[in-house]
Amino acid sequence: MLNDPRKDIILIVDYFTKKSLQCLLVSSHEAINFSQRKVTLELLFLGLLKESTSLAASCLLPMGITLKNTVTTTTKRLTCQAFTPDELKLLEVLRASTHRLNSELSKVVIEREKAENRQDFEMASAFRDRENDIKKQISLLKSRIASETWEIFEHTFVRNVSDINFSDESLDALRLAVKESQRLNHNHVNPEHILLGLLETGGLEFVDFLEELGTHALSLRKRLDNLLAGESYTSKNSNVYIENLVNNGGEIVSEKSININAGRDISGSVINLGEISGNVSNTINQLQESKEANTSELADLLKQLQSSINSEDNGLDDKDKAKALKYIDAIGKLGSKQNDLTLRENADTALDALSAIVGKVSSLFSSAKPLIDSVKAILGF
């Protein structure tokens, strides 16, 4: 096992499909619901089951494994090991506050757009001021929670898979999922491979868990092997998507994604930086044609960032360059539609992730960080 579990999971999920990453992020959400600091094998299994369109779910459901009995069995097996009463209270306040503010923000945006359409510029300006005020409140709320109880903040605002705290057993299962995909000569890790990884983990605890659900590991493995034998997998380049789950009073209300990895598939496809950078250039060109405020200045900043990332001697490897370019692309898309809440959430995530990547190289960080800060100022982050 690598010393840093987060670096480990980043390497593992480089092969995972959008649907597989969705399962992992759902399992993280379930960890919060069950007051667990780590995603256990049971919660990983529950995340697979909730992705009902996958082959893994189609294997489980006919065997009588339902969400209801899985949740019941998981509840019996997992003790509340994580949060103190004060921490739980703060978590509930966070959920309620973010839900209220996001709901109010959506209404204000709608009213501002109505005022603009009827050319009531005074009213539109008032709504715009209120919109900006709410955004600042949300930002301050996140910062306050982050400084007071970082661990809760980290669980509640999981932005990508590398933020998830997996148990050692779950990490083993994810490693085995990659090996199972390779064994079957498949190009990517799908939910069914994760299920195979769980079965291959071989721990008695998970075997007991399946028996409590009314099935046996060997029976499940046989059924899954039969289903996989009838599936065809085509070779294609892998673009890994990181899903953002937005909590609304404890419920998942939306799923947002940023295509952040050029990545590679298991067959070893090479990252095409030229193509990715070309997409960024197209986004910046569209930004320059936009009628949104400060687009010319924003486009210039993004061009400088793009040039810094593309530099051959900046110290980044191709994988980090590909990620950084795609983050810049997500930021540029918001510049053209600055009131799109989905694009705003994506850009917010992208700005944080871009800062983390340039922070790996001190010389790059010193030149790129001021540019990122200027972008944040223009976009109101």
Residue 185 one-letter amino acid: N
Angle 319-19-10 (CA atoms, 0-180°, nearest 5)? 30
- Token pair for 230: 């009838």
Q: Phi first, then psi: give them for residue 109, nearest 5 degrees.
A: -60, -45
CB 2 within 8 A of CB 8: yes
Q: Phi first, then psi: give them for residue 220, nearest 5 degrees.
A: -65, -40
Cα(113)–Cα(115) distance, integer angstroms: 5
Q: What per-residue confidence (pLDDT) applies to 215?
A: 84
Q: What per-residue confidence (pLDDT) applies to 270?
A: 47
Cα(36)–Cα(202) distance, integer angstroms: 22
Q: What per-residue confidence (pLDDT) applies to 192?
A: 92
Interacting residues of 273 by C-beta distance below 8 A, sequence separation 6+: 262, 310, 318, 321, 322, 325
Q: What is the largest CA-CA distance in the chain?
A: 69
Cα(223)–Cα(59) distance, integer angstroms: 7
Reported as type and span, the H/E element at residue 373 is helix 362-379
Segment 147-150 long-range contacts (CB within 8 Å, at least 24 positions apart) = 148/90, 149/87, 149/90
Q: What's the distance, CA 84 to chain centroid?
A: 27
**Side-chain half-sphere exposure of 193, counting CA atoms within 13 A:** 29
Cα(43)–Cα(199) distance, integer angstroms: 14
User: CA dist 22 to 161, 175, 252, 261, 295, Å?
Assistant: 9, 17, 12, 15, 33
Q: What's the distance, CA 51 to chain centroid?
A: 15
Cα(377)–Cα(381) distance, integer angstroms: 6
Q: Strand, helix or coil at 295?
A: helix
Q: List domains and CATH numbers for the chain.
A: 1-270 (1.10.1780.10), 271-379 (no CATH)
Cα(11)–Cα(79) distance, integer angstroms: 30
Cα(196)–Cα(174) distance, integer angstroms: 9
Q: What per-residue confidence (pLDDT) applies to 303?
A: 92
CB 23 within 8 A of CB 51: yes
CB 168 within 8 A of CB 1: yes
Tens of each residue's pLDDT in the chain, 381 residues: 334 445 556 666 777 888 888 888 888 878 877 777 788 899 999 999 888 888 888 888 888 888 888 888 888 887 655 556 676 677 677 778 877 888 899 999 999 999 999 999 999 999 999 999 998 888 777 666 555 544 443 444 445 666 677 888 888 899 899 888 888 888 888 999 999 999 888 667 788 888 888 888 888 888 888 888 765 443 333 333 222 222 222 232 233 333 333 344 333 444 678 888 888 998 898 888 887 778 888 999 999 999 999 888 888 888 888 888 988 988 998 888 888 777 887 788 788 778 888 887 878 888 888 899 899 889 888
**Residue appearing with tokens 């590679």:** 264
Closest CA to 207 of 79, 82, 77, 81: 77
Q: What per-residue confidence (pLDDT) applies to 46?
A: 92
Residues in the chain: 381
